Structure 1
Amino acid sequence: MPIYSDSDIDQAAGPSRPSTFFGRNRPLYSILGGRKVADILLWRNKKLSGSILAGFTIIWFLFEVVELHFITVACYLLMILMLILFVWVQAADFFKWRPPTVDDIIVSESTARYMLSRVNKLLTVFYMISCGHDLGRFCLVLASLWLLSIFGSYSSALNVLYAVFLCLMTIPVLYERYEREVNYIATQGKGDMKRLYKKLDTKVLSKIPRGPVKEKKFM
């Protein structure tokens, strides 16, 4: 990655604060929810983030490399869980352990409500983007989905999901760490795109013949 001086970055970013994508004013941690999800994506809790990444990697390895079937792996996991619970309950009295209860394995209502609220928030963002209020973001999401569909046509669904998961686990934390450099490059790229569009509009688009515009008649 090229190294930029602080003066170059500040000159492109502005006098007060570095420019951000889509005019972002809030910190990245706040945009990601500011809770457990943000802690995981930004590696605030390195043990939890590492464990989740390792778990998904093991699942991907079992399905794509070892080529086990989903039902087989699910049955193996349930069998292991049953054996662990059986040994734990039977040996609880002997080792003076607290035996597990059903509350230890069920999903709490608060967790379910939180997950449902995140899904609803995601659907709300999807709706707002689809309405076209922010044309730049609309085009970016549309192009990203199109590229993802092309990538998915040459790969399995699990590979696509794992690639998306790796992006979620790496891009936010890398962007937070190198935010000034990324904003500088994005600002330079945005300026280049504007100059390219202006040149294209001057030499090509403005010379395209257009039909006469009819004046509207007002009653």
Structure 2
Amino acid sequence: MADHEDSTSPPVESMMEKISEKIHGHDSSSSDSDNEKSSPSAFKAKVYRIFGREKPVHKVLGGGKPADVVLWRNKKISAGVLGGATAVWILFELLEYHLLTLVCHCSILALAILFLWSNATTFINKAPPHIPEVHIPEDPVLQFASALRIEINRGFALLRNIASGKDLKKFLSVC
């Protein structure tokens, strides 16, 4: 039992020595090469990266704004993302709110705000809000309806063939 404890302690000590050497920036071993001593930038790059990583964390996360948000470099945006995610979690998990209900309530609220805003502009002598007219073209809607009708008819024909009992293998695979 004592032999087992002695056999595991030297690797642990050597690992701790390596980590402390990386952190403190000095190396007491005599096996250093001349290249590491001559290029201090390569030595500094390894000193400041934990566990001897090749790339910084910002680059590993893809760089740019998403990495800045994850690493909290822009604190306002990161706090906003965290607050928004927390609000969504509270709505959907704790309050058991549903997405369709949320979308409907938001659209009702937006409609009520626009209605009140357009009516309040007459009392405060401001221009009413510009609400654009929306038109759906007829041709794409008809093409979509026609394609949908064709696919539904194909599905009904397939179900009819399966239910007629002509192909037992297909019937059993559907069941």
TM-score by length of 1: 0.33
> Which has the greater radius of gyration?
2
Relative contact order (alpha carbons < 8 A, sep ≥ 6): 1 or 2 greater? 1
